[in-house]
């Protein structure tokens, strides 16, 4: 019986490994020495539920990231391993709303490929590094800015930005050489500049409004949370339709679309350090990383940065826009360090939510603290787990993205904030110094020697 159980586990792991690298269920991955189909057991969602999160040290976690990216790099170099989104059945027969939104945004979606200059054996050459997607953010003087993933730079160890060649492929088949303008390994985004004599079609952006009122006396009506025509913001609630887009990296560079639903679920095994990612149930492939996540109206609301078999993690366009505007103004990037893990109040556990609303029935919006980092300014300020931040710098805080923007503009300053705590009868006034991440390196996948 033990032997039978072991064999069953081996098949399960083999199947998961094959699907994770873009292969079809029941088939060996490309280049593995066998292309014959073999019988596979039906997908069992319990695999994900039975996962036990490993208790890894910081050093072990970085080594895991290092190994992960090395495998990606090796796999991408092994042959035509990239797969389009329509390898998944839910992305094949798209309904009219998904098609309309995709066509509205498609002209700004690009394919991006990074290569590195090498001199193996004394002979100069170019090796492929990473294929991804991106979108045209804005037009500048004699050129355009592409926003994409920083995985373009991380797929090979000890490679400098100056040694990387970037190629950008547009929807009309034209290709351009790209220049790395800026990148951030924490947020995992990069800005690529291409030179063009004529303006290119840019994406239409819609900043997210992630504020939802937790009011027991009223039901949430989905129809009230829609993007108004020509508006620059979107009220997004769990269950809303979103669409991950990408462009296939081989001619004719076809557009790819994967519809899904916005979710408050955690991306449990994300390899990125960034804590500001949201999730959606879009099922995509690796060449869609860096592509835009759009609303049903075709506006870009995020950037797809991490995927697993059933989830896409994306960075809200609000954060990417703030990051880019800061770079344009100051000529350098900035990462905001919260010193705590937070989320929107409506996403809190039900028992925690009940204890807060019973004590403070008027607190229906805010940001709840899930954890506080030891030694951080948040800990020094007296912030505790399950505190709800309702004011920051004299402004009412209704959502996580609102708190992020207010903290970004107060970096280096001591700011007063107001929190409510289930164990106290009145709101607490605290003072906190807003910190930024000052370490210039160490966010990379290969910096794990500490």
Q: What is the pLDDT of residue 383?
A: 95
Q: Is the dihedral of CA 188, 191, 194, 199 positive or negative?
A: positive
Six token digits for residue 180: 């790395």
Q: What is the pLDDT of residue 26?
A: 43
Which pLDDT tens digit goes with each residue over 105-153?
999 999 999 887 666 555 555 666 788 999 999 999 989 999 999 988 8
CB 422 within 8 A of CB 355: yes
Mean pLDDT by 10 residues, the chain (450 residues): 42 46 43 39 41 54 56 44 82 94 97 78 64 95 94 68 84 93 91 94 93 70 41 79 95 94 72 79 92 96 89 93 93 86 89 92 92 91 95 93 92 93 94 74 31
> In 3D, which of 354, 366, 416, 355 has the Cα closest to residue 390?
366
Q: Please state whether beta strands 207-209 and 233-235 pair in parallel, antiparallel, or not at all (unpaired).
A: parallel
Q: What is the pLDDT of residue 130?
A: 85
Q: What are the C-alpha distances in Å from 30 to residues 75, 78, 80, 234, 240?
A: 9, 8, 8, 41, 36
Say if residue 124 is exposed, middle or buried (CB neighbours under 10 Å; 0-12, 13-18, 19+).
exposed
Q: What is the pLDDT of residue 337?
A: 83
**Strand, helix or coil for residue 48:** helix
Distance CA 126, CA 118 (A): 6
Q: How many alpha carbons lie under 13 Å from residue 329 in its C-beta half-sphere?
A: 7
Q: What is the pLDDT of residue 135?
A: 98
Q: What is the pLDDT of residue 309?
A: 78
Which pLDDT tens digit goes with each residue over 197-218?
899 999 999 999 888 787 776 6
Q: Which one-letter DSSP state was computed for residue 310?
A: S
């Amino acid at each position: 019986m033990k032997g039978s159980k072991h064999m069953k586990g081996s098949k399960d792991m083999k199947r998961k490994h094959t699907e994770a690298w873009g292969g079809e269920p029941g088939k060996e991955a490309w280049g593995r020495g066998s292309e014959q189909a073999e019988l596979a057991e039906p997908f069992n969602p319990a695999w994900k539920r039975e996962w036990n999160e490993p208790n890894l040290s910081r050093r072990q976690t970085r080594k895991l990231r290092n190994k992960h990216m090395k495998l990606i790099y090796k796999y991408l170099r092994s042959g035509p391993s990239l797969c389009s989104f329509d390898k998944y059945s839910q992305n094949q027969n798209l309904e009219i709303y998904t098609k309309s939104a995709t066509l509205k945004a498609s002209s700004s979606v690009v394919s991006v490929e990074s290569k590195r200059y090498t001199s193996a054996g004394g002979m100069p050459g170019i090796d492929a590094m990473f294929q991804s997607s991106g979108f045209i953010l804005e037009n500048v003087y004699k050129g355009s800015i592409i926003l994409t993933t920083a995985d373009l730079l991380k797929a090979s160890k000890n490679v400098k930005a100056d040694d990387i060649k970037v190629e950008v492929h547009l929807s009309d088949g034209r290709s351009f050489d790209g220049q790395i303008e800026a990148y951030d390994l924490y947020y995992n985004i990069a800005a690529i500049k291409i030179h063009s004599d004529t303006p290119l079609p840019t994406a239409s952006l819609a900043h997210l409004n992630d504020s939802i009122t937790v009011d027991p006396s009223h039901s949430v009506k989905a129809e009230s949370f829609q993007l108004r025509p020509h508006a620059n913001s979107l009220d997004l609630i769990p269950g809303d339709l979103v669409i991950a887009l990408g462009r296939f990296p081989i001619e004719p560079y076809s557009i790819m679309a994967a519809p899904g639903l916005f979710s408050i679920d955690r991306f449990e095994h994300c390899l990125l350090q960034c804590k500001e990612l949201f999730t959606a149930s879009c099922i995509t492939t690796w060449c869609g990383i860096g592509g835009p996540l759009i609303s049903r109206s075709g506006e870009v609301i995020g950037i797809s940065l991490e995927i697993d078999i059933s989830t896409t993690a994306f960075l809200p366009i609000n954060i990417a826009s703030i990051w880019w505007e800061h770079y344009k103004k100051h000529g350098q990037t900035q990462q905001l360090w919260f010193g705590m893990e937070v989320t929107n109040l409506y996403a809190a556990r039900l028992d925690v939510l009940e204890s807060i609303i019973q004590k403070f029935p008027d607190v229906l919006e805010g940001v709840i603290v899930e954890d506080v980092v030891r030694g951080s300014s948040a800990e020094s300020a007296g912030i505790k787990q399950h505190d709800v931040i309702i004011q920051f710098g004299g402004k009412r805080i209704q959502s996580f993205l609102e708190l992020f923007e207010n903290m970004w503009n107060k970096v280096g300053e001591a700011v007063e904030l107001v929190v409510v705590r289930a164990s106290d009868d009145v709101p607490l006034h605290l003072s906190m110094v807003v910190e930024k991440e000052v370490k210039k390196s160490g966010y990379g996948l290969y910096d794990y020697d500490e």
